[in-house]
Amino acid sequence: MLDVTRRHFFRDCGYGVGKAALASLLCRGSTRGADTPRAPESLAPKKPHFAGKAKAVIHLFMAGAPSQLDLFDYKPELAKLEGKPLPPEVIKGQRYAFIRPEAAVLGPRFKFAKHGKSGAELAEVLPHLAKIVDDVCILKAVHTDQFNHAPAQIFFNTGFSQPGRPSMGSWVVYGLGCETKELPAFVVMSTGAGISGGAANWSSGFLPTIYTGTRFRNQGDPILNVSSPAGIDAELQKDTLDLVADLNRKRLATVGDPEIATRTAAYEMAGRLQTAAPELTDLKKEDKETLALYGADPDKPSFARACLLARRMVERGVRFITIYNEGWDAHSDVTGNSRNNCKTTDQASAALVSDLKRRGLLDSTLVVWGGEFGRTPMVESNPVLGRSLGRDHHPQAYTIWMAGGGIKAGVTLGRTDDLGFHPVEGAVHVHDVQATILNQLGFDHEKLTFKHAGRDFRLTDVFGKVIKDALA
């Protein structure tokens, strides 16, 4: 009798264990309230609005905000003005975090030269980027709304300055579902001292929590609790999972709630994660040449190692990876700060692009490099805080670069004025960058929406235009 019922149930109601498991072989599982229909929230792979060029995104987030004036946006005029304040009409009405607007100008700290066929101008501290500069698209006139780290980082990641909205990665997985059956679809790594915006940067906001970014950690398990406790060996773990599955199956027969089948599927997925995570993070299988290309020590957490892991994740179907490199906040000694951070990131960032390219993955992987805002043409010095020769936060104009995923290679777009203060050509707002990232994945950013609190929300709020000039 029960068997008949169950067969009917699985056949006619479309909730068979197999199906439930498939529909929710879900990188993180399924979601539902007692009331939520789950179909739209499944993590099963979904088609975007149109065929996108990119299948995955690697976002190299330079948290703290690199100095565009010392790395990308060469302004000889600043050298001439060094020590003098900017003209009053330029600085009128501007707000800064630490300095007064009338602070003196600080000239470029490094030598610049043109590189590649494209002739992109880069500072001497970016020698590796210089070698692949014909593969990237440099945007020199990006601007944002926020001038403090936490709000600006949250703004770049979620399109809004206060915590609570879904992050880019969450939107992407919400729209595309999940391809990998053994890893999370949205991964976050930190390679520095700490992220100002915190977990709000990879939160799913009001989207179902299954779309939250999963942290890959440097200490302990790469994914929380992915290894079994001491003494729980593989055989015991298998026996346990078998017993749990068996008893859950029996319970399902009595209770009839398909959510039980989903739970069993989540446990199967957990079992696979326990194998897949160590396999992913075991870099011994990478050849020496590749490790050297990135400059990665296989056993030591670093930005380089995270970049290599990101490539391995993309190969395994992970959709969205954000790697944070914190520490660019050069309120003092912008020279030393930039030099050190470039030492940490330049080689690996460039290696990531060239490695993806030689493996044929660059066309389908969008790499984005940049911070939450830029830095001032004016110097920051403050004897009380022990600061000198630094630069303050500058949201009016800064530089990011993108590569792969259908982005035009070997171009520099946008121009700032001679002081590097404001965009004068090709101004691009952070919402435009977000719209472009979604576009490359096949989404109309105005249509990727979720109804919450009475209205449709989207990543770009009510703004954003795809940067057409940046498309290949």
Partner 1 sequence: MLPQHLSSRYPALLCAAFLALACGAAPILPLNARDEPKQPPTPAPDFNRDVRPILAARCFKCHGPDEGSRKAKLRLDTRDGAEHVLGKAKNSELVLRIASMEAGTVMPPPATKVTLTAKERETLAAWVAAGAKYDAHWSFVAPKRPEVPKLKIQLVHPIDAFVVARLQKDGLSLSPEADKYTLIRRVYLDLIGIPPTPEEVEAFVNDKTANAYEKLVDRLLASPQYGERWARKWLDLARYADTNGYEKDRRRSIWPYRDWVIKAINDDMPYDQFTLEQLAGDMLPNATTAQKVATGFHRNTMLNEEGGIDPLEFRYHAVTDRTAVTGTVWLGLTVGCAQCHTHKFDPITHAEYFRMFALLNNADEPEFSVPSPELQNQRAAIEAKAADLLKLMVGATAQQGDAYVAWQEAERKQAVKWVTLKPSKMEAGPTKLAIQPDGSIFASGDAKKRDLYTLTLEDLPAGVTAFRIEALPDERLPGNGPGRAYYEGPKGDYLLSEFMLTVDGKPVAVTGASETHTRGNLTAKMAIDGHPHTGWGGSGREGVGSSAVFNPAKPLTTKNAKLDLLFERHYAASLGRFRVSVTTAEGVKARDIPADVEELFTRPKGTLPNTEAILILGHWLYTAPELKVRRDEREALLKRLPAYPTTLVMQERPADNPRPTFRHHRGEFLQPKEAVKPGVPAMFGAQLNSPKNRMEFAKWLVSADNPLTARVTVNRHWNAFFGRGLVRTLDDFGYQGELPSHPELLDWLASEFQNPSPTPPLKREGLKPGDVPAPPPFLGEGVGGRGSWSIKRLHKLIVTSATYRQASLVKPDLLVRDPENKLLARGPRVRLEAEQIRDSALKAAGLLSPKMYGPSVFPPQPPGITTEGTYGRLDWQVSTGEDRYRRGLYTFAKRTAPYAMFGTFDGPSGEACTAKREVSNTALQALTMLNDAVLLEVAQSLAKRAVMHDGKTVDRVAYLFRLCLVRPPTADETASISKFYEAQRERFAREPERAAKVAGAGDGATERAAWTATARAILNLDEFVTRE
Is 83 a residue that touches partner 1 (CB under 8 A)? no
Taking the CB of residue 275, how many other CB atoms lie within 10 A of it?
A: 12
Q: Name the nearest CA neighbour of 197 among 163, 168, 170.
A: 163
Determine whether 200 is exposed, middle or buried from the number of CB atoms within 10 Å of its CB (0-12, 13-18, 19+).
buried
* Biggest CA-to-CA distance, the chain: 90
- Cβ closer to partner 1: 226 or 403? 226
Site for partner 1 in 306-365 (CB under 8 A): 324, 326
The region of 255-263, 283-291, 366-374, 402-410 touching partner 1 under the rule CB under 8 A is 255-263
Site for partner 1 in 135-154 (CB under 8 A): 148-151
User: E-assigned strands of 371-426?
Assistant: 374-382, 387-394, 398-403, 411-413, 415-416, 423-425
Taking a C-beta distance cutoff of 8 angstroms, is the pair 460, 159 a contact?
A: yes
Is 371 a residue that touches partner 1 (CB under 8 A)? no
Element (H, E) at 8: helix 2-13
- Cβ closer to partner 1: 94 or 118? 94
Taking a C-beta distance cutoff of 8 angstroms, is the pair 76, 337 a contact?
A: no
The residue assigned the tokens 């004036």 is: 69
Distance CA 401, CA 220 (A): 33
Taking the CB of residue 228, how many other CB atoms lie within 10 A of it?
A: 13
The region of 65-73, 132-140, 242-250, 395-403 touching partner 1 under the rule CB under 8 A is 242-250
Is 260 a residue that touches partner 1 (CB under 8 A)? yes
Is 274 a residue that touches partner 1 (CB under 8 A)? yes
Site for partner 1 in 408-427 (CB under 8 A): none
- Cβ closer to partner 1: 213 or 404? 213
Min dist CB 295 to partner 1, Å, is: 21
Element (H, E) at 446: none
CA 179 vs CA 100, 135, 184: distances in Å: 50, 27, 9
Phi, psi of 54 (to 5 degrees): -100, 145
Min dist CB 320 to partner 1, Å, is: 17
Number of residues that bind partner 1 (CB under 8 A): 110
Out of 180, 203, 347, 460, the only residue in the binding site for partner 1 (CB under 8 A) is: 203
Q: How far apart are the first and last CA of the chain?
A: 62
- Cβ closer to partner 1: 96 or 278? 96
Out of 106, 195, 314, 367, the only residue in the binding site for partner 1 (CB under 8 A) is: 195
Out of 15, 294, 421, 443, the only residue in the binding site for partner 1 (CB under 8 A) is: 15
Is 281 a residue that touches partner 1 (CB under 8 A)? no
Is 12 a residue that touches partner 1 (CB under 8 A)? yes
Identify any residues that bridge with 457 across adjacent strands, giving them in sequence order.
Answer: 450
The region of 109-117, 200-208, 334-342, 424-432 touching partner 1 under the rule CB under 8 A is 200-208
- Cβ closer to partner 1: 390 or 404? 390
Min dist CB 182 to partner 1, Å, is: 9
- Cβ closer to partner 1: 118 or 281? 281
CA atoms within 13 A on the CB side of 406: 19
Determine whether 380 is exposed, middle or buried from the number of CB atoms within 10 Å of its CB (0-12, 13-18, 19+).
buried
CA 69 vs CA 87, 124, 381: distances in Å: 18, 13, 17
Is 62 a residue that touches partner 1 (CB under 8 A)? no
The CA-based angle 111-116-368, given to 5 degrees, is 85
Min dist CB 412 to partner 1, Å, is: 31
- Cβ closer to partner 1: 55 or 393? 393
Phi, psi of 367 (to 5 degrees): -105, 130
The region of 206-214, 348-356, 403-411, 417-425 touching partner 1 under the rule CB under 8 A is 206-214
Site for partner 1 in 207-236 (CB under 8 A): 208-210, 214-215, 217-221, 223-233, 235-236
The region of 66-74, 83-91, 201-209, 350-358 touching partner 1 under the rule CB under 8 A is 201-209
Min dist CB 463 to partner 1, Å, is: 11
CA atoms within 13 A on the CB side of 450: 21
Distance CA 396, CA 122 (A): 20
Is 447 a residue that touches partner 1 (CB under 8 A)? yes
Site for partner 1 in 29-58 (CB under 8 A): 29-37
Taking a C-beta distance cutoff of 8 angstroms, is the pair 414, 425 a contact?
A: yes
- Cβ closer to partner 1: 98 or 357? 98
Is 3 a residue that touches partner 1 (CB under 8 A)? no
- Provide the mask over 379-398, with x wherever binding to partner 1 is found by CB under 8 A and - wherever it is not: ---xxxx------xx-----
- Cβ closer to partner 1: 247 or 292? 247
Site for partner 1 in 89-118 (CB under 8 A): 95-98, 100
